[in-house]
Amino acid sequence: MSHAPKEQITKIRLRFKLESKESATAIVSKIDNALKAENAPCTGRINHHFITFHIPVNDQHYWSPQLTLTFDELDEVTTIRGLYAPRPTVWTMFVFFYSVIGMAILVVGTLGLSYKMLDKPADILWWTPVLAIVFMTLYLVAYFGQKMGHKQIETLHNFFEEATGLRV
């Protein structure tokens, strides 16, 4: 292959960065043609140098991921950045729950320590480990949800590689 892409994959955040000598317009055009194919395993939206791939609606489940690509051109080199993430509704829900639990721990801790400093019973502090367990449970649910979407991440990634001819 003549592209000789420069690669970088980060597994923790499920991101990749790839460089190609091909123009962003040419790469976006390849992806657009692949998305329009009758047997395409993905659907997507293209907005200039920004693309989002999804699993088709009839194959989606709650934990289905999406792949977002951005393209930057500089000195005849196109940098492609990919991010695998849950759909925005799932992401927003988890951020909301993490925030609520975090605020609850802050309020319980502040009240409990205030009572303790005033030599009053601080029974409310027993909620701190309960909230920490709820927090960890939510984290584990998100972790196993990500594992449930792994096959679909592979589908999205393989579609990207086949459509563009680039390998990450």
Spans of all domains in the chain: 6-86+151-162, 89-147
Q: What are phi and psi of 106, to 5 degrees?
A: -65, -45
Task: Say if residue 163 is exposed, middle or buried (CB neighbours under 10 Å; 0-12, 13-18, 19+).
Answer: buried
Q: Looking at residue 29, what is its pLDDT?
A: 92
Q: Against a cut of 0.85, is the pTM above it?
A: no
Identify the CATH class of 6-86+151-162.
Answer: alpha beta
At 13 the pLDDT is 60
Phi, psi of 113 (to 5 degrees): -70, -35
Q: Residue 64 and residue 59: Cα distance in Å, rounded? A: 9
Q: Are 165 and 82 in contact (CB under 8 A)?
A: no
Tens digit of each residue's pLDDT, the chain (168 residues): 344 444 444 454 688 999 999 999 999 999 999 999 988 999 999 998 899 999 999 999 888 999 999 999 988 899 999 999 888 888 899 999 999 999 999 999 999 999 999 999 999 999 999 999 999 999 999 888 888 888 999 999 999 999 998 887
